[in-house]
């Protein structure tokens, strides 16, 4: 197989005939006006970085950003709409990840071959100059958990590390402190305008439909994600997800991970006949799942991916295992909250797409099914154009009750019905439409005595939260308040 071209330019979700500037123009710095588009956290970070280097900087945003009060002096601002005239006179455009680079307002800039890049592109340029290795992590699900875990592994190995990107700290702010390695979580939006990242280790943890409203279809989404492999030095592959495997040279240093038993020198799970589960490298048993604080089979797979990434980054195995035994995971990511009304309550509010919710259902279902317990699952919110039919099988395998909430409740129910999960389904799963999260939780308390096998209440909506909440964090916080005993 041939290696990905380092000069491959971003691909429009709408048409492969649309083109962005070439790689050489994208990474050129220029000496003139730097226009930052979008003043969120990463936009402000880019402004501060460029201003400190002495560039003339301007900012445009479609809204009236709250962070404007934190801008340095002498910054030109155009708020209330994206300013096409300003974009057309830029020497380089730094676009925030939430803004689509194929909006018509950028047509003039593309026609003039003005570089349109992400803050990650700027970070890469500096990292290359300072010889800072980059560990680059993306995927439809689990990337925040794995990024945080790998960052802890690097830190505990005695390496000065910066952890950020799409998670927490904007990438350019990591350069404010001396670091020896960077661990970056990268979204498809950031990768869409990043070229030739040249990471020391890169991985696409998994692929499932997400952000199709932005990328147009799975092909556009896949192409954006796989830009992470441009110029890569080594890769980690999910051997159970073919869409995660890139086209790279046969001699590329590669490690794989998965929930099945591993081949020699690869990472996987060994499952004994007595139900014991071990994290393993080849035939070597590394850690019993009982000693891993993050629960569910999907989280064991996350741990395996982190071990593979760490190995390729040169981290000592014993140090990584020690870190893993002390890692409790991230908030709102299949987080155990409490046991109430005989239900173990899990907050997976970060589950904003189908793949993430499937992982949560399977991960918990495979743990509770041997105990004779089933799940009550809360789904709903803003569906982002997804088809929810894929959820039908894992729900039929492991759920007893499904609650629908939010804006796309009816669509989710219709999609599941198209896949055989309707009111008359053979599994006897009860489907209940609730307007709000509070109604769903209250209904779960009422349903538990009716279904003795019901042992888990899982909030994993497979949807964005903006129809009823400010974000997944608030949704998770509300859920936690509702389930905790008063």
Which residues are catalytically annotated?
143, 166, 211
CA dist., res. 32 & res. 467, Å (int): 41
Buried b (16+ CB within 10 A) or exposed e, 446-460: ebbeeeeebbbbbbb
With 0-12 / 13-18 / 19 or more C-beta atoms within 10 angstroms meaning exposed / middle / buried, residue 370 is exposed
- Residue-wise DSSP of 387-445: -GGGGHHHHHHHEEEEEEESTTHHHHHHHHHHTT-STT-TT--EEEE-SSHHHHHHHHH
Report whether 195 belongs to an annotated binding site.
Answer: no
φ and ψ at 464, to 5 degrees?
-70, 165
Whole-number CA gyration radius for the chain: 23
Q: Is 25 annotated as a binding residue?
A: no
Query: Has 32 been labeled as part of a binding site?
Result: no
Q: Does the annotation list 432 as a binding residue?
A: no
Q: What is the DSSP string of 336-359?
A: EEEEETTEEEEE-TT--SHHHHHH
Q: How far apart are CA 351 and CA 296, in angstroms?
A: 14
Contact 315, 153 (CB under 8 A): yes
In eight-state DSSP terms, residue 52 is H
Annotated binding residue 141 = yes
Contacts of 59 (CB under 8 A, 6+ apart): 35, 36, 37, 39, 43, 47, 68, 71, 75, 76, 77, 78
The secondary structure of the chain in percent helix, strand, coil, rounded to multiples of 5, reads 40, 20, 40
Q: Is 273 annotated as a binding residue?
A: no
Element (H, E) at 447: helix 437-447
By the 8 A CB rule, do 467 and 382 touch? yes
Stated as kind and residue range, the H or E segment containing 456 is strand 454-459
Element (H, E) at 478: helix 472-483
Return the structure tokens found at 231: 């110029």
Unique residue bearing structure tokens 């790279």:
248
Is 143 annotated in a binding site? The answer is: yes
Other C-beta atoms within 10 Å of 126: how many?
Answer: 16
* Residue 86 region by backbone torsions, left for phi larger than 0, else alpha for psi between -120 and 50, else beta: alpha
Q: List the binding residues for ATP.
A: 139-145
Q: List the binding residues.
A: 139-145
């Amino acid at each position: 197989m041939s290696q990905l071209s380092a000069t491959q330019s971003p691909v429009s979700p709408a048409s492969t005939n649309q083109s962005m500037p070439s790689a050489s123009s994208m990474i050129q710095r220029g000496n003139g006006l730097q226009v930052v588009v979008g003043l969120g956290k990463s936009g402000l970070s880019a402004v501060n970085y460029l201003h400190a280097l002495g560039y003339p900087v301007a900012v445009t945003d479609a809204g009236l950003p709250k962070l404007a009060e934190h801008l340095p002096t002498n910054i030109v601002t155009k708020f209330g709409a994206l300013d096409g005239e300003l974009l057309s006179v830029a020497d380089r455009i730094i676009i925030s990840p939430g803004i689509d680079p194929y909006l018509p307002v950028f047509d003039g800039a593309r026609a003039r071959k003005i570089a349109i890049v992400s803050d990650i592109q700027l970070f890469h340029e500096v990292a290359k100059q300072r010889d800072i290795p980059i560990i680059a992590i993306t995927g439809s699900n689990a990337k925040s958990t794995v990024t945080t875990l790998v960052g802890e592994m690097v830190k505990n190995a005695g390496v000065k590390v910066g952890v950020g990107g799409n998670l927490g700290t904007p990438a350019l702010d990591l350069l404010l402190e001396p670091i020896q390695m960077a661990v970056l979580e990268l979204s498809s939006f950031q990768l869409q305008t990043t070229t030739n990242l040249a990471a020391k280790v890169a991985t696409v943890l998994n692929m499932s439909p997400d952000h199709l409203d932005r990328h147009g279809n799975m092909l556009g989404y896949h192409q954006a994600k796989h830009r992470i492999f441009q110029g890569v030095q080594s890769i980690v592959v999910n051997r159970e997800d073919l869409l995660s495997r890139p086209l790279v040279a046969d001699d590329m240093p590669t490690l794989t991970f998965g929930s099945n038993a591993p081949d020699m020198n690869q990472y996987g799970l060994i499952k004994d006949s007595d139900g014991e589960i071990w994290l393993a490298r080849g035939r070597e048993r590394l850690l019993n799942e009982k000693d891993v604080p993050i629960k569910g089979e999907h989280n064991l797979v996350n741990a395996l991916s982190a071990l593979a990434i760490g190995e390729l980054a040169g981290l000592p195995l014993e140090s990584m295992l020690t870190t893993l035994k002390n890692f409790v995971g991230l908030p709102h990511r299949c987080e155990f909250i409490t046991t109430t009304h005989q239900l173990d309550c899990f907050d997976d509010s970060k589950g904003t797409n189908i793949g993430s919710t499937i992982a949560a259902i399977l991960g918990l279902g495979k743990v509770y099914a041997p105990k004779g317990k089933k799940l009550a699952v809360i789904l709903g919110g803003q569906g982002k154009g997804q088809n929810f039919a894929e959820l039908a099988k894992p729900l039929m395998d492991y759920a007893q009750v499904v609650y629908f909430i939010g804006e796309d409740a009816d669509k989710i129910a219709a999609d599941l019905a198209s896949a055989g999960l309707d009111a008359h389904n053979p599994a006897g799963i009860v489907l209940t439409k609730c307007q709000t999260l509070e109604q769903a939780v209250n209904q779960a308390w009422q349903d538990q005595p009716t279904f003795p096998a019901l042992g888990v209440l899982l909030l994993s909506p497979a949807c964005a939260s903006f129809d009823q909440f400010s974000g997944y964090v608030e949704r998770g916080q509300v859920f936690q308040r509702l389930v905790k005993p008063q």
